[in-house]
Copies of this chain bind each other. A is one copy, B any other.
């Protein structure tokens, strides 16, 4: 069983507790695979409104636009259902944008409806996935309340490091992203100029070197310590691990 499309869904989290049967069922939810280039608005574009989408490859940003400025309120990595909540909410309060090129798996809402009615085990996993998003949101709130700009950027990469590791993508010394410094600024709620200075400070401190979105470090622990990062909110195999019930 390889599950080429959904292999990373909840990997490192609840996935290990799902039955083979459920995993196969989840793989079969994907009706089609779509590819998109950089900076594509995934909601208005070719993406159907009656589907929800699993991110298979690449990064997706959740943004809120206000005429003047863009705010990034979340990042998604492969294995994340990026708009599962649209199935329940019908509309989104924000925009989904690709960062770099992406591959998405489309799941028709009628199939999700069937899951809700007939497969409570899978429904619960879906619910769990959206709750993970909420837990990440809470940490972002706290990071914005607690940290200065350099630490916010470090926290961002620390979280990505952890999330990528959980889905089995090891990040030895370089974490590659397509993010510009303006993207980092919009994620951290600071100006682009200040994001640049924050990046420079991380370099000076020896915490990590960010070049065109790629972070290079040889001491992830030091980076995480600097960012006051504690990954338990990601509900991976650790302190807050989901117990067998």
Identify the A interface with B (CB < 8 A). Answer: 62, 64, 66, 69, 71, 73-74, 85, 88-91, 93-94, 116-117, 120, 123-124, 127-128, 130-131, 133-135, 137-142, 144-146, 186, 188-189, 228, 232-233, 235, 240, 242-243, 245
Q: Considering the chains assembled together, what is the distance between the CA atoms of A134 and B139 in angstroms? A: 12
Q: Is the CB of B242 within 8 A of A144?
A: no
| Across-interface contacts of A130 in B (CB, < 8 A) | 127, 130-131, 134
Q: 8 tightest CB-CB pairs across the interface, nearest first?
A: A145-B189, A137-B137, A144-B144, A93-B233, A134-B134, A73-B141, A73-B138, A71-B142
Interface majority SS on A: helix, strand, loop or mixed?
Answer: helix
Q: Is the CB of A142 within 8 A of B240?
A: no
Q: Is the CB of B93 within 8 A of A232?
A: yes
Q: Considering the chains assembled together, what is the distance between the CA atoms of A186 and B141 in angstroms? A: 11
Q: Is the CB of B146 within 8 A of A145?
A: no
Q: Shortest distance in angstroms between A221's beta carbon and chain B's nearest beta carbon?
A: 18
Chain B residue nearest in CB terms to A230: B66
Q: Considering the chains assembled together, what is the distance between the CA atoms of A98 and B159 in angstroms? A: 30
Q: Is the CB of A138 within 8 A of B137?
A: yes
Q: Is the CB of A73 within 8 A of B142?
A: yes
Known: A62-B138, A127-B127, A141-B144. 18 other contacts (CB 8 A): A64-B138, A64-B139, A64-B142, A73-B141, A73-B142, A85-B134, A88-B124, A88-B128, A89-B131, A93-B135, A93-B138, A123-B123, A130-B130, A134-B137, A137-B138, A137-B140, A137-B141, A145-B186
Chain B residue nearest in CB terms to A187: B145
Q: Considering the chains assembled together, what is the distance between the CA atoms of A89 and B138 in angstroms? A: 15
| Across-interface contacts of A142 in B (CB, < 8 A) | 64, 71, 73
Q: Is the CB of A89 within 8 A of B124?
A: no
Chain B residue nearest in CB terms to A91: B240
Query: 29 A-B Cβ contacts within 8 A?
Result: A64-B139, A64-B142, A66-B146, A66-B228, A69-B146, A71-B141, A71-B142, A71-B145, A73-B141, A74-B138, A74-B141, A85-B131, A85-B134, A88-B124, A89-B240, A91-B235, A91-B240, A93-B232, A116-B123, A116-B124, A120-B123, A123-B123, A130-B131, A133-B134, A137-B137, A141-B144, A144-B145, A144-B189, A145-B188
